Structure 1
Amino acid sequence: MKSTIEPAADASKARTGIAGFDEITHGGLPHGRTTLLVGGPGSGKTIMALQSLVNGVRLYNEPAIFVAFEEDTKRILANARKFGWKLAELQKKKLFFLDAQPPFDLFQSGDFDLSGMLAALDSKAKEINARRIAFDAIDVVLMLLEDPAARRREIYRLHDWLLDRGFTAIMTAKSGDYERGGEIEASMGFIQFMVDCTVVLNHEVVQGVSQRNLRVVKYRGSPFSENESPFLIGSDGLEVSGARGLGDQSEPDLPVTGERVSSGVARLDAMLCGGYYRGASVLVTGVPGTAKSTLGGCFAEAACLRGERTLLVSFDSDANEMVRNLSSVNIRLAPHAKKGMLRLVSARAVTGSAEIHLMRIKKLVTEHRARCLVIDPISALCNSGNEVTAHGVVERLIHWTKTSGITIICTSLLDDAGTQMGSTPLEVSTIADTWIHLNYLVHAGERNRGLSIVKSRGTAHSNQVRELILSDTGVTLADAYTAGGEVLMGTLRWEKELAIRVAHDEAEASKELKQVTLESEEALIEVRLKAVQLELKVKRAEKVALTRSTTDRSNERARGQSHLQELRGVDET
């Protein structure tokens, strides 16, 4: 709870400081007017009234008085101790409790009115300068009055007293059947017409799941959310799930960024052309055992390695089991949890309604200052009485993470392999930015995991079905492999790849043998060519020698004849 004083945003409103309630009432309770809280036993009326006063004192410096008609101060203080409001400190100066419970053995004689109590409250209000006041269980007082006219008179007396002093007032009253039947009901109905604001609180059990909600029935002179708003009673008191309307000016713009964050699986990042967008919502669907939780663990580990605080909420496993199971595929979460970078939370859907889980998750994210959130599986919110509200819860969660710049990974369990791909149990696929689907591919007696990206808004992405491989070294995706137009995985792929390798080796061996043969034949031809060339050279040499010999003999005969003629003295003619 904040310790600084905050000014009210609207002078006509008195902020309660109750998370969510000031949103649905556009600022809080009517300032200087009276609000009626109506609900059955255990619906949270007293807590809400007291919390409004406590926050008024601590946050807005408005001293207050709490008038208890049903429980004494000791019990109220004991019950409120778990909320950490430090009421004992506030009692000393700015918060006064008045015990006004009628004795159980009260015997009434004569007329009864509230004038004496109001006179005492006047004195105390001036002493502490009170600005807020709560009357808890006003119906108890009305039960003391037999005459309907007397009840109406005292209601008017109290109402006029509050208006004259300008108190921001709260009255609580039980709804349902009362003693003396419709007479008290009629009186309560009259109060609802008289006050400026009426809030109805409900607490019911639906299929074994406790669900609380409140609804603002009327609020004079102010707009307000007319639908039921779920709430829970947590460690700090009431927390209401606020809902913003269409065109609400206070609605922040969604942060848009082109920054990418890793999924924790390098090849999946490549399929997504760089990973998830920062602040995106990612849905991972699949039947049991397809490694949805593993992909969530990969993302959580990658986020922690980037130095980003991360929250992992599991509806299926204990925190220690998650750490053990993920370590089998080399996802080490324990060191990050030990450093405080990662917070692991185990939750069971049967422990509360979907709305309660939403508020608890938001509170955990805020407390941990998480930038990344993993919920495994989000489809667990459909369990036990949550079918109607679960989709709206998830939609608000995703919207909240977007406005907060938180990247969220949600896994969703599909009932069976035959579930239509066009939808998911919570219809989350329509609002998720990226949808990754995991399935089993069974062929030839073998089951393998396949991963495909159904959609990824704002980015190109692979349309291939890739085999998801889990091993003690980590998580990866196999290369896409097709044969005859069919994607092969597992043993079939291994056999096909082996056959291709064998054929390749045989082709290489045949190639080498052919190469050697050709080289041998080439060598023989070269030898034969050299022999022919040598023979040709010899023949040419013989030819040259023959020509030279013939010429020499001719020349020799000519010289011999000439010499013979000279010897015989033959005259030249």
Structure 2
Amino acid sequence: MVELTETGIDGLDSILNGGIVRNSTTLVVGTPGAGKSILGLQFIYNGVKEFDERGIFLSFEENREDLTAAAESIGFDQWSEFEDNGDIKVYDKRRLLQENSFTDTLDVLLEDIQDGEYDRLVLDSLAMFELFFDDDAERRTYLLKFTDILKQNGLTSLLTNEQATVFPDNDIGLENFLTDGNIYLIQTPTESGVNRYVWVAKMRKQAIETDIFPMEITHGGIQVHDNASAFSMMNDSESPL
């Protein structure tokens, strides 16, 4: 029986048939503004609030104060409280980029990762993580090492990454193949605003719904809706793609 970690995100766990495989790494990909960081914040926050699972948030893009403000502005009102009591541990860009190499940065993280007190981890984002490395071979080696460490220490992890195109036809990186799951957050412009969608393209060890589902970002975070056929983007002749 495969153990699952519920995200607590309305509709997403249904698509995943219960949640993300425990001790796995999942890549969350999307264009800028698609909701990747919000999904990561929500995954960590829900872990503490709903499932008594503590979380680590690694932000290569935000200061701790800005991250806290972002979390609370979207409706995660107890974020500061959870930080203060140690249920959420944040490493911000000032701390993560303080070292000269990823090996040095990893040494800083290992105490929290290896003590067994945390269940979830988010790395936001791989685009900044890659600044440590000179080439794809080195990046691949360290990404494999890092994901292996996360799994060995019982962490269920989300790694965010940006892509330039709505669909990843020609924008597939090594990360997509090195992680256990791929979730794409998609946004398309309309005359009245933006339509948002989520597509779970891959999840090892479990059956998933692979349709594209509409989602929205509201106060309280991301909500995924189950009416996939009404929002089909692959076969709709009126799709803007």
Normalising by structure 1, what TM-score? 0.37
Which residue of the other structure, out of 173, 183, 187, is the alignment partner of 1:199? 183
Give secondary structure in 2 for the equivalent of 1:143.
Answer: helix
| C-alpha distance 80-155 of structure 1, shift in aligned 2 (>3 A) | same
Partner residue in 1 for 2:26: 35
Correspondence list, 1:406-421, <5 A: none
C-alpha displacement of 1:57: 1.0
Contact 1:204 1:210 in 2 (8 A): yes
Partner residue in 1 for 2:89: 96
Correspondence list, 1:153-172, <5 A: 153-172=141-160
Contact 2:211 2:228 in 1 (8 A): no
C-alpha displacement of 1:242: 2.7
Partner residue in 1 for 2:50: 59
Correspondence list, 1:49-448, <5 A: 49-85=40-76, 86-91=78-83, 92-101=85-94, 113-125=101-113, 129-176=117-164, 189-242=173-226
C-alpha displacement of 1:201: 0.7
Contact 1:113 1:154 in 2 (8 A): no
Sequence identity percentage: 26
| C-alpha distance 175-244 of structure 1, shift in aligned 2 (>3 A) | closer
| C-alpha distance 96-223 of structure 1, shift in aligned 2 (>3 A) | same
C-alpha displacement of 1:125: 3.6
Measured in 2, the distance between the counterparts of 1:244 and 1:32 equals 29
C-alpha displacement of 1:124: 2.2
In terms of Rg, which structure is larger?
Answer: 1
How many residues are aligned here? 229
Provide, for residues 39-98 of structure 1, a one-character-per-residue CA deviation record: whole Å limited to 9, x for no partner.
Answer: 011000000011011111111111110000111111111112123321011112210100
| C-alpha distance 176-388 of structure 1, shift in aligned 2 (>3 A) | closer
Structure 1, unpaired ranges of 5+ = 1-9, 178-184, 246-353, 356-385, 390-573
Provide, for residues 106-143 of structure 1, a one-character-per-residue CA deviation record: whole Å limited to 9, x for no partner.
Answer: 9x9xxx64222222222124557001111001111213
The answer to which structure has the higher helix fraction is 1
- Which residue identity is paired with 1:66? F
Correspondence list, 1:444-483, <5 A: none
Give secondary structure in 1 for the equivalent of 2:32.
Answer: coil
Give secondary structure in 1 for the equivalent of 2:29.
Answer: strand
Contact 1:225 1:243 in 2 (8 A): no
Contact 1:70 1:101 in 2 (8 A): no
Let me know the Cα RMSD of the aligned residues: 2.9
Structure 2, unpaired ranges of 5+ = none
C-alpha displacement of 1:151: 1.2
| C-alpha distance 387-84 of structure 1, shift in aligned 2 (>3 A) | same
Contact 1:24 1:244 in 2 (8 A): no
Partner residue in 2 for 1:325: none
| C-alpha distance 172-134 of structure 1, shift in aligned 2 (>3 A) | same
Give secondary structure in 2 for the equivalent of 1:141.
Answer: helix
Contact 1:201 1:215 in 2 (8 A): yes
Measured in 2, the distance between the counterparts of 1:102 and 1:121 equals 10
Normalising by structure 2, what TM-score? 0.85
Contact 1:64 1:130 in 2 (8 A): yes
C-alpha displacement of 1:11: 5.4
Contact 1:23 1:244 in 2 (8 A): no
| C-alpha distance 101-39 of structure 1, shift in aligned 2 (>3 A) | farther
